[in-house]
Amino acid sequence: MNKGKIEKKIVIGNWKMNPSNNKEALKLFTSISKLILNIKNTQIVVCPPVLYIENINKNLKKISLGAQDAFWGDVGAFTGQVSVKMLFSAGVKYIILGHSEKRAQGEENSEINKKIKAVLSLGITPVVCFGENNRDESHEYLNFVKVQIEEGLNGISKNLISKIVIAYEPVWAIGKSALREATPEEFREMSIFIKKILNDKFGAKNIVNIKIIYGGSVHPENTLSFLEEGKADGFLVGRDSLDAKKFIEIVNITENEIN
């Protein structure tokens, strides 16, 4: 059992651009819902493509609804964008921001910062992703992550920082081009480093309840080690969130580690 200050963990499923139609999306969600048994201490969130949100929201029970991104503006000439207000009205409680795939498309820290402020203004929980592209021997990656955090959280109130969930995403350990999987020890080190930056910026008392979760190729086989050795507060799950059995296995391991 984890005796840390944060008792309740969080497991977030990021479906990315999957599945291919509304029927399959509802089928996946229903399969996940049916497998949930006696989950009391783990917050479960699913983040489907925005087109499926309304349909899934009609079937919510023990699962919270999330979105994969949002735009910082309220209304206006922003072709193709979806505002935070729109997502709020659709029942969204969590929004992923600054994901490595969005950053790879050119999203900058200043834009992510505006999105975070817009999400917080409506009482939605931002799940903000930070992480380095490469791990160099000179440890320049630490400064890279530090800049991401400082610029991304610039101007955020000390009273609101604990409302943010931080997802550490080691880009070099994710996807088909991954060099290798990150280790729980590497996550633990980065979690401590991130908390040091947050402590310096917001003060120790304001960050005591902040969650730092792991978001790099999470699967049932490495879940327990990241909880026990890495001291992760939860997970941002990509590929295995599309497999109902694997996703719930990750949830169950997280739940049992708490109890």
Give the catalytic positions in this structure. 99, 169
Residue 256: how many CB atoms within 10 A of its CB? Answer: 13
DSSP symbols for 60-78 = -SSEEEEES--BS-SSSS-
Structure token pair of residue 206: 């304001």
Closest C-alpha to 88, from 45, 53, 37: 53
Closest C-alpha to 236, from 169, 163, 164, 162: 169
Closest C-alpha to 64, from 104, 31, 107, 95: 95
**Peptide linkage before 184 cis (omega within 30 of 0):** no
Rounded to the nearest angstrom, the gap between the alpha carbon of residue 248 and the centroid of all alpha carbons in its chain is 17
Structure token pair of residue 168: 């550490």
Query: What is the C-alpha to C-alpha distance for residues 166 and 194, in angstroms, rounded to an integer?
Result: 9
Query: What is the C-alpha to C-alpha distance for residues 29 and 167, in angstroms, rounded to an integer?
Result: 23
End-to-end CA distance of the chain: 6
Question: Quick check: 119 and 95 in contact, CB under 8 A?
Answer: yes
